[in-house]
């Protein structure tokens, strides 16, 4: 086991903690508050942010979409340059925070921002960034990764850099109160799949990583079981902290990781506009069945530790069924057809996208070629 | 649940990672390497450190004791001032790293360094500090706490500050190969009690914190079960990473904490010179029996989740017995008499020390007064 790990983001967790941003941002900084639609104006978050920033000079940029696009984000970059702003406060879910990471990096780069996604420009410098999380799901509030879409070419790509780790993140569980059910369900699925990407590979005797991952998975199963009774502080706090820990680098340090489900899911979102989490719920069970032989030991371990399944014949397969049933129980589609995509072209289209974006061998054993992607997508029809 | 948490220390984990310090320390820095006795010279760690620092100006300061004393450490502070050194590399276990934190803070303070321990000086500034861990146990390599002893007055006190968080920590599991059995056993006990201090209180529905803590406790139980067969990479790596996670702030964020066992243990070490971990093994079972009513719900949860005990009558009590048996299985004394302390004066002496140092009400419910301390120590005779 060998790794280098750190996570410098300061977490301010708890009810009322949005006020902490007053002290978290140097008062000399000129802040750009970036957000999405208007939901933060109706749920009180905008007002709390504005109150906390009353001692700062600040401007705002709204309209960042789910699956944030460079077309939109480059307007924020232009605003930063025009106004001489030097700190970004992302107020939103994963899309807004991911988008703000792109803005923070692109503002310090002279060339075309899309170079960052293509890997032509490696990000070493970015504007400092803070985050107020409004939707637990992606873990973006305390990691260095971001997924950005180019609308004009229907591409959805990933970049990461230590330079775009948020300096701080506010996690106030009360923000969940006003979320639509669909977004909460999506967030649970997203966090669950994040853990699976770092856990459902092959065993390497990482006892801390496995035990922490199983804790998070069990938490998410319990949260799903209580989904209908979720209107309480305990549910909200445990969802928010679990989703954060699912993708802050800790459980993945020193162990093999997969991420093929995400890469395939990104292509599906880019092609068909399906919600990110829903693409994961569609791909993961199909991928696990396709890769059962490579993953059966960890699947069996998960079945016992997370779903309390009996250690009988077919345990790995039954674990996949349990995962699929978990997603179904949240009302999330687990087939392309259930998400409104029909017709025979999807497998070829998605496999071609994977190939075009240079992902010839995905998965922890590099076993998932574009041909395998085609099979996985076909089986998820 | 409400908390602010961060852990900025960069962890370099794995065999051969001592070489990472070459890049981790700015080559313009003049480094003081602080270590203890000569063990790092015989086990190869010193040579690896020297090789990694070949591009730096550096000096060394050795002779930091177990239970490091201000009397010794103030000599390192004087050397730093005389030579104009501006970076500290601690190479050792908890004592050396704790001592180096004191040196880093005292070097930036004009007054008497002991003021830091008395709380008269709050540490806001310190020299930057890195750590090469040679004994997994205290977690000091990635937290902001330190315990320092004043020999002249037989006092052992604690301070903490964000300013003394190590910038990086090298965790190379191979260093365990050369450790005496007694130190390894002590390390297991120390890590186990660190988790207990943050977990064995009362339930607050912190699912992440509880699950992570139970993972670490189960790991330590498994490591103890394999203690005789510990000469392998898997055992060493899991011990090292588990002990680190046991006290880096994560499992204690947002949940009640106790720490009375540590405070009482510090007094016992100051008075009788018993190894830190051994004082914990002596105090914890007695304290848990004394506080059984306050802690019974979490003790029962631990019994089921960590020791696989049946949920029958007396589960909390049986969990305490299991903890005591775990310590015994490692050859660690669990009574003062087994550690060579006899005679009737210990309870009064330790209670008086607790009172003198301003700890009138210890424990998560402030239920442990000096009178209760006396009972706990008496019952551990």
Question: Are both A76 and A37 inside the same structural domain?
Answer: yes
How far is residue A167 from each of residues A60, A91, A117, B340, measured CA to CA in Å?
19, 14, 22, 51
CA dihedral of A308, A312, A317, A323, whole degrees rounded to 10: -10
Model pLDDT for residues A83-97, shown as the tens digit of each residue: 999 999 999 999 999
H or E element at residue B283? helix B276-290
Whole-angstrom Cα distance, residue A191 to residue A248?
11
Q: Look at residues A114, A149, A174 and tell me which one is the last residue of a structural domain.
A: A174
Which residue among B6, B13, B211 sits closest to A3, beta carbon to beta carbon? B13
- Taking only the tens place, the pLDDT of each residue in A97-150 is 999 999 999 999 999 999 999 999 999 999 999 999 999 999 999 999 999 999
Q: Using the beta-carbon criterion (under 8 Å), do B3 and A9 form an inter-chain contact? A: no
Q: Under an 8 A CB cutoff, do A13 and B253 touch?
A: yes
With bands split at pLDDT 50, 70 and 90, how would you rate the model's confidence at B263? Answer: very high
pLDDT over 70 percentage in chain B: 100
Asked if residue B343 has pLDDT above 90, the reply is no
Q: How far is the alpha carbon of B214 from chain A, nearest alpha carbon, in Å? A: 9
Question: Rounded to a whole number, what is the distance in angstroms from the first to the last CA of chain B?
Answer: 38
Residues B98 and B190 in one domain: no
Contact A31, A25 (CB under 8 A): yes
Q: Is the pLDDT of residue B312 over 90?
A: no
Query: Is residue A144, in this structure, part of any structural domain at all?
Result: yes
By CB atoms closer than 10 A (0-12, 13-18, 19+), residue B284 is buried
Distances (CA, A) of B222 to A59, B2, B227: 55, 32, 8
Q: Check CB contact of A245 with chain B, cutoff 8 Å.
A: yes
The single residue listed with the structure tokens 């804790």 is: A215
Q: Tell me whether residue A5 is in a domain.
A: no
Q: To the nearest whole percent, how much of chain A has pLDDT over 70? A: 100
Whether residue A5 and residue B15 make contact (CB cut-off 8 A), yes or no, is: no
Nearest Cα residue in chain B from A142: B6
A212 to B207: CB separation less than 8 angstroms, yes or no: no
Say if B3 falls within a structural domain.
no
Closest Cα in chain B, distance from residue A305 (Å): 12
Q: β-strand A129-133 against B145-150: which pairing, if any?
A: unpaired
Which residues in B lie closer than 8 A to residue A225 (C-beta atoms)? Answer: none
Q: If pLDDT is split at 50, 70 and 90, which confidence band does A38 have?
A: confident
Name chain B contacts of A13, Cβ cutoff 8 Å: 1-5, 253-254
Q: Which chain A residue has its CA at the smallest distance from B208's CA? A: A242
Residue A140 lies in a domain: yes
pLDDT at A115: 98
Q: Are residues A192 and A339 in the same domain?
A: yes
Q: What is the CATH number of the domain that holds B161?
A: 3.40.50.1970
pLDDT tens for each residue of B16-56: 999 999 999 999 999 999 999 889 999 999 999 999 999 99
Residue B71: its pLDDT value, please?
98
Above 90 in pLDDT, residue A220? yes
CA distance A16 to chain B (A): 9
**C-beta of residue B176 within 8 angstroms of C-beta of residue B240:** yes
Distances, alpha carbon B86 to alpha carbons A173, B57, B77, B108, B166, in Å = 42, 11, 11, 10, 14
DSSP state of A164: G
Looking at the predicted structure, is the pLDDT value of residue A343 above 90? no
Minimal Cα–Cα distance from B18 to chain A, Å? 12
- Mark yes or no for CB contact B15/A7 under 8 Å: no
- Asked if residue B1 belongs to a domain, the reply is no
Q: Does residue B161 share a domain with residue B234? A: no
Give, for B159, the enclosing helix (H) or strand (E).
strand B155-160
A312 pLDDT exceeds 90?
no
Exposure string for A62-101, b = 16+ CB within 10 A, e = fewer: bebbbbbbbebbbebbebbeeeebebbbbbbbbbbbbbbb
Whether residue B10 lies within 8 A of chain A, CB to CB, comes out as yes
Q: For residue B132, what are the β-bridge partners?
A: B91, B170
A237 touching B, CB under 8 A?
yes
Spatial neighbors of A308 by CB under 8 A, at least 6 apart, are none
pLDDT attached to residue B13: 98
Q: Are B67 and B135 in the same domain?
A: yes
Q: Which of A11, A14, A214 sits opposite B6 (nearest CB)?
A: A11
Q: Is B358 helix (H, G, I), strand (E, B) or coil?
A: coil
Residue A3 lies in a domain: no
The upper half-sphere exposure of residue B160, i.e. CA atoms within 13 Å in the direction of its Cβ, equals: 8
Nearest by CB to residue A6, choosing from B11, B14, B215, is: B11
Q: Which of A142, A174, A206 is a domain's end point?
A: A174
**Domain end point (choices A154, A174, A194):** A174
Tokens of B313: 């009558």
Beta strand segments in chain A, E: 3-13, 30-35, 57-61, 87-92, 129-133, 145-150, 155-160, 168-171
| Mean of all residue pLDDT scores within chain B | 97
- The answer to whether residues B88 and B219 belong to one domain is no
Question: Are B105 and B54 found together in one domain?
Answer: yes
B4 occurs within a structural domain? no
The verdict on B108 and B253 lying in the same domain is no
Q: How many inter-chain contacts (A to B, CB under 8 Å) are there?
A: 118
Residue B43 and residue B105 share a domain: yes
Mean per-residue pLDDT for B340-345?
A: 92
The percentage of chain A sitting over the pLDDT mark of 90, rounded to a whole number, equals 97
- Please judge whether A216 and B234 are an interchain contact, meaning their C-beta atoms are less than 8 angstroms apart: no
A343: Cβ contacts below 8 Å, ≥ 6 apart? none
Q: A316-330 pLDDT, tens per residue?
A: 999 999 999 999 999
Q: Is residue A46 part of a domain?
A: yes
Closest listed residue to residue A364, CA positions, set A208, A213, A198, A253: A198
Q: Which helix (H) or strand (E) holds B12?
A: strand B3-13
For B280, the domain range is: 181-379
Rounded CA separation A337/A267 (Å):
16
Chain A interface includes B237 (CB < 8 A): yes
Q: Does B8 reach chain A within 8 Å, measured CB to CB?
A: yes
A343 burial via Cβ count (<10 Å: 0-12, 13-18, 19+) = exposed
What does pLDDT average to over chain A?
A: 97
What is the nearest CA distance from A254 to chain B, expressed in angstroms? 8
pLDDT at A148: 97
pLDDT tops 90 at residue A165: yes
Which residue in A14, A208, A219 is closest to B207 by CB distance?
A219
Whether residue B202 sits in one domain with residue B164 = no
pLDDT digits (tens, 9 = 90+) for B143-178: 999 999 999 998 999 999 999 999 999 999 999 999
What number of CA atoms fall less than 13 Å from residue B82's CA on the CB side?
A: 8
Q: What is the pLDDT of residue B38?
A: 83
Task: Tell me the pLDDT tens digit for each residue of A277-311.
Answer: 999 999 999 999 999 999 999 999 999 999 999 99
Q: Which of residues 192-231 of A touch B (CB under 8 A)?
A: 205-208, 211-212, 214-216, 218-219, 222
- Looking at CA atoms only, how far is residue A373 from chain B in angstroms? 34
Interface-testing mutation among B3, B21, B207, with chain A (most A C-beta atoms within 10 A): B207
pLDDT at A63 over 90: yes
Q: Do A215 and B207 touch (CB under 8 A)?
A: yes
Q: What is the CATH number of the domain that holds A339?
A: 1.20.1090.10
Q: Let me know whether B166 and B205 are in one domain.
A: no
Contacts of B237 in chain A (CB under 8 A): 1, 205
B200 and B340 assigned to the same domain: yes
Distance between CA A97 and CA A102 in Å, rounded? 9
Q: What is the CA radius of gyration of chain B?
A: 20
- Which residue, among A374, A20, A264, A4, has the nearest Cα to B170 in the 3D structure? A4
Residue A150, helix vs strand vs coil: strand
pLDDT band at B354 (very low <50, low <70, confident <90, very high): very high
A4 in reach of chain B (CB within 8 A): yes
Contacts of A237 in chain B (CB under 8 A): 1, 205
- For chain A, the distance separating the N- and C-terminal CA atoms, rounded to the nearest angstrom, is 38
- CB nearest B219 (choices: A211, A216, A218): A211
Total structural domains in chain B? 2
pLDDT at residue B364 in the model: 98
């Amino acid at each position: 086991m060998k790794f280098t790990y750190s996570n410098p983001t300061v977490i301010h967790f708890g009810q009322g903690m949005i006020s902490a941003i007053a002290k978290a941002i140097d008062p000399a900084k000129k802040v750009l508050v970036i957000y999405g639609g208007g939901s933060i104006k109706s749920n009180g978050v905008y007002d709390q942010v504005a109150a906390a920033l009353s001692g700062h000079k600040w401007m705002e940029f709204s309209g960042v979409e789910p699956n944030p696009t460079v077309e939109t984000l480059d307007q924020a970059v232009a605003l930063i340059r025009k106004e001489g702003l030097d700190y970004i406060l992302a107020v939103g879910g994963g899309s807004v925070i991911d988008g703000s990471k792109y803005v923070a990096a692109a503002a310090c780069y002279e060339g075309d921002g899309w170079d960052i996604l293509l890997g032509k420009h490696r990000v070493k410098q970015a504007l400092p960034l803070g985050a107020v999380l409004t939707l637990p799901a992606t873990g973006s509030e305390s990691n260095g990764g971001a997924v950005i879409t180019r609308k004009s070419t229907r591409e959805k790509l990933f970049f990461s850099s230590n330079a775009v780790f948020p300096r701080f993140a506010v996690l106030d569980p009360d923000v969940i109160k006003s979320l639509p059910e669909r977004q909460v369900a999506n967030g649970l699925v997203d966090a669950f799949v994040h853990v699976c990407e770092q856990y459902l590979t092959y065993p390497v005797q990482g006892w801390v990583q496995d035990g922490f991952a199983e804790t998070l998975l069990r938490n998410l199963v319990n949260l799903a079981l209580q989904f209908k009774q979720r209107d309480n502080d305990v549910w909200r706090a445990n969802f928010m902290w679990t989703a954060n820990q699912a993708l802050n680098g800790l459980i993945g340090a020193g162990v093999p990781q997969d991420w093929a489900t995400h890469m395939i899911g990104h292509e599906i979102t880019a092609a068909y506009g399906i919600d990110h989490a829903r693409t994961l719920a569609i791909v993961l069970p199909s991928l696990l069945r396709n890769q059962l032989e490579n993953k059966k030991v960890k699947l069996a371990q998960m079945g016992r530790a997370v779903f309390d399944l009996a250690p009988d014949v077919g345990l790995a397969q039954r674990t996949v069924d349990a995962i699929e049933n978990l997603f179904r129980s949240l009302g999330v589609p687990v087939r392309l057809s259930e998400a409104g995509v029909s017709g025979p072209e999807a497998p070829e289209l998605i496999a071609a996208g994977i190939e075009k974006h240079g992902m010839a061998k995905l998965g922890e054993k590099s076993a998932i070629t574009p041909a395998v992607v085609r099979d996985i997508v076909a089986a998820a029809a």
